Amino acid sequence: MVSYPPRELWPEKIYNLPELAYPDTFNACYELLDANLALGRASAPAIYSADSIVTYKQLTDEVMNIAGALRQRGVKAGDCVVMRLFNRPHFIATFLAVLRIGAVAVPTPPLLRQREISAIIESADPILLISETDLWDEVEKLDRGAVRCVNVAELRNGAPFRECAPTPQDTPAILLYTSGSTGLPKGCMHSHADLMATCDSYARYILEPSPADRFGGHPTMAFAYGLGGLLLFPLRFGASTVLLERFTPEAMINSIHQAEVTIAFCAPISLRLMMKQSSSLRQTLRSLRFVVSAGETLPASVYRAWHDNTGIEVLDGLGSTEMLHIFISSRRGRSRPGATGEVVPGYQAMVIDEKSMQPVPDGETGLLAVKGPTGCRYLGKTYRQQNYVRQGWNIPGDIYIRDSDGFFHYQCRNDDIIISGGINIAAPEIEGVLLEHPAVFEAAVVGSPDDLHGMVPKAFIVLQGTHRPSDDLKKELQDYVRRELAPYKYPRKIEFVKELPKTSTGKIRRTELRRSEFQVS
């Protein structure tokens, strides 16, 4: 059973759009599923995947069966359920089933390893973990006394649970984990109202979807970005989602072309890779109305190259797990190379001086502050909550400039998060694993510029005793991290050094290491 932090630490919520006037009691599963049946969409396609087309009626039946199976296993309203599933139709069905009975869905990225899953289990205290066969290896390594585990295939034949459990609109619906500068996972809680609010602000006003749209892309639905783009948004508006289980540039291009995707969710790295895969995408991707890019800033060069290659506009956007989805975005016909965009309807944003919390003049750098119908509420992290929410404003930790036209321009992060290929990586988490290796005496990890990924983790390492630098040792250390953490977190660059720069109190001066990386690049 999860609970929010003290109310006095909550961000100020604003509901300044008519669509955000939700009833006191409702269920997001009804809004995303049953409401479509009530509008006559039972036979309309909800999900396209590699081997099937699932209609709204078929999806509803499966959700009811899984919901019944969960109830039979003792899952009740307020209980956390950890999900270990790929971007397959049963992810969507399981997620909605958890919401249907009033429980809390805790999706986890498929690439997480045992130690990372264990940290989430310890934090969320789930009653059940649902996995699929392809991801069972890491589940087998868990302390099986910590949580009951079940294969998703065993949940399909439950007695149907037909009614949606009525829930107060601010009841927790999902718990998403994000890495912070401490390297420890932070659980971000969002309610049934939050799920609908991101649909009825960003998706409704920026994407302007219709039931004829087909949403596609590659981000895992275990991340907030993919959850919105591939599950919440299409189902909210009676559209369909096209699931791509694993990203390769060729698979992404084929998915868009064959399924006639109209809105694709990508990251700058995936745009680069698709252009590298094919020098002429204009005809192949002609079904697209536009592409959404988020997760890391979109370089002006990539924006221009993509438009020149395809004729399709890219809508850059800034969001966070704490805010659930995008709150600053480009708009169709108003996107500008190098600019993240404008404030999404329903939100407010300003660039502030961190000390005074007052806005700085347009054209000057400052810390971004935002508020809207969604906001940060951490699970059991009072200090982090106080740091992220200040005077009612959410502080994502990004340094921005706002120009005189109201466009926001990204400058940098103000913490130790490395955004690589659109994914947040906590440098201290990598350092902690490296320090477990017998060859490592000290380690510092910073972001290093990379043409393909934007940034990649680079480790500066001081070796123990008789160990000597070598390419073989670099590979050994990289493989060690890859075994212990999600593969995308391993340090793609390693530099052996005799000592690390430190302050007079002995703290590593990572700022100096970061600065040296950008000076040599």
- DSSP of 120-164: HHHHH--SEEEE-GGGHHHHHTS-TTSSEEEEGGGGTTSPP--SP
CATH code for 27-45+56-166? Answer: 3.40.50.980
222 in Cβ contact with 215 (< 8 Å): no
83 in Cβ contact with 117 (< 8 Å): no
Looking only at the bridges linking them, the beta strands covering 104-107 and 148-151 are unpaired
Residue 344 pLDDT exceeds 90 = yes
pLDDT confidence tier of residue 461, bands split at 50, 70 and 90: very high
- Average pLDDT over every residue of 169-195: 85
**pTM, rounded to two decimals:** 0.87
pLDDT for res 428: 79
318 in Cβ contact with 288 (< 8 Å): no
pLDDT digits (tens, 9 = 90+) for 55-72: 999 999 999 999 999 999
What percentage of the chain exceeds 70 in pLDDT? 97
The DSSP-derived string for 480-517 is: HHHHHS-GGGS-SEEEE-S---B-TTS-B-HHHHHHHH
398 in Cβ contact with 421 (< 8 Å): no
CA-CA distances (angstroms) from residue 453 to 273, 351, 482? 10, 27, 17
The more confident residue out of 484 and 423 is 484
Which residues are CB-contacts of 503 (< 8 A; sequence separation ≥ 6)? 509
Residue 353 pLDDT exceeds 80 = yes
The more confident residue out of 183 and 138 is 138
The more confident residue out of 159 and 51 is 159
The DSSP-derived string for 384-396 is: HHHHHEETTEE--
- For 451, the 3-state DSSP assignment is coil
pLDDT for res 505: 57
Q: What is the DSSP letter of 168?
A: B
Residues in the chain: 521
pLDDT for res 509: 83
pLDDT for res 410: 87
Which residues are CB-contacts of 8 (< 8 A; sequence separation ≥ 6)? none
Which residues are CB-contacts of 348 (< 8 A; sequence separation ≥ 6)? 14, 370, 371, 372
Output the CA torsion sign for 299, 300, 305, 306: positive
CA distance 117 to 124: 10
Residue 292 pLDDT exceeds 50 = yes
pLDDT confidence tier of residue 181, bands split at 50, 70 and 90: very low
Looking only at the bridges linking them, the beta strands covering 240-242 and 45-49 are parallel
pLDDT confidence tier of residue 504, bands split at 50, 70 and 90: low
Q: Which amino acid is residue 111, in one-letter code?
A: L
CA distance 473 to 94: 43
Q: Which amino acid is residue 128, in one-letter code?
A: L
Map out the domains of the chain as residue ranges: 27-45+56-166, 417-520
pLDDT digits (tens, 9 = 90+) for 382-403: 888 999 999 999 999 888 999 9
What percentage of the chain exceeds 90 in pLDDT? 75
89 in Cβ contact with 49 (< 8 Å): yes
- Average pLDDT over every residue of 469-486: 95
How many helices and strands (H and E) does the chain possess? 16, 26
- Average pLDDT over every residue of 159-186: 83
- Average pLDDT over every residue of 412-422: 77
Residue whose C-alpha is closest to residue 372's, from 169, 209, 173, 202: 202
pLDDT for res 521: 43
Q: Which amino acid is residue 14, in one-letter code?
A: I
pLDDT for res 118: 94
Looking only at the bridges linking them, the beta strands covering 185-191 and 214-217 are unpaired
* CA angle, residues 42, 68, 119, in degrees to nearest 5: 110
User: CATH topology of 27-45+56-166 equal to that of 417-520?
Assistant: no
> Was domain 417-520 assigned CATH 3.30.300.30?
yes
Residue whose C-alpha is closest to residue 388's, from 322, 294, 324: 322
Arithmetic mean of pLDDT over the chain? 92
Residue whose C-alpha is closest to residue 447's, from 464, 471, 470, 423: 423
User: CA-CA-CA-CA torsion for 213, 217, 222, 224, nearest 10 degrees?
Assistant: -70
Residue found under tokens 């971004």: 368
pLDDT confidence tier of residue 362, bands split at 50, 70 and 90: very high
pLDDT confidence tier of residue 298, bands split at 50, 70 and 90: confident
Residue whose C-alpha is closest to residue 142's, from 156, 157, 122: 122
* Distance of alpha carbon 212 from the chain centroid: 26
The DSSP-derived string for 238-296 is: T-EEE--SS--HHHHHHHHHHHT-SEEEE-HHHHHHHHHH-S--TTTTTT-SEEEE-SS
Tokens describing residue 140: 């087998």
Instruction: Find residue 410's DSSP bridge partners.
Output: 400
The b/e string for 337-376 (b: 16+ C-beta within 10 A; e otherwise) is eebbbbbbbbbebbbbeeeeeeebeeeeebbbbbbbbbbb
Residue whose C-alpha is closest to residue 131's, from 153, 155, 151, 106: 151
pLDDT for res 179: 63
CA-CA distances (angstroms) from residue 427 to 267, 269, 362, 419? 21, 20, 32, 10
pLDDT digits (tens, 9 = 90+) for 112-125: 999 999 999 999 99
